[in-house]
């Protein structure tokens, strides 16, 4: 389940990255005046890692209870 969540979030991040005209630039990533595609990509990548970790932790806790 955690691998599926990670793949889903990272796949969405890749699609957002492809929909950006200038692809991915560090200048836009560090520009905090407005929201850029790069910010959404970073949030999706980190969100995927957090969701996968939470899924693993929940499964481990459920196994410990049984």
Q: How many domains does the chain have?
A: 1
- Structural domain including 30 reads 2-65
> Rounded to an integer, what distance in angstroms lies between the CA atom of residue 16 and that of residue 38?
8
pLDDT in the model for residue 22 = 76
pLDDT score for 10: 94
What's the pTM? 0.82
pLDDT in tens, 3-24: 999 999 999 999 998 888 777 7
Question: How many Å apart are CA 56 and CA 49, to the nearest integer?
Answer: 11
pLDDT at 54: 96
Q: Percent of the chain having pLDDT more than 90?
A: 65
Mean pLDDT of the chain: 91
Q: How far does the chain reach from its first CA to its final CA, in angstroms?
A: 19
């Amino acid at each position: 389940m955690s691998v599926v969540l990670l793949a889903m979030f990272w796949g969405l991040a890749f699609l957002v990255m492809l929909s950006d005209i200038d692809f991915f630039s560090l200048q836009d990533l560090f520009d905090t005046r407005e929201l850029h595609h790069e910010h959404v990509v970073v949030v999706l990548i980190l969100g995927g890692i957090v969701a996968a970790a939470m899924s693993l932790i929940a499964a481990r806790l459920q196994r410990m209870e049984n």
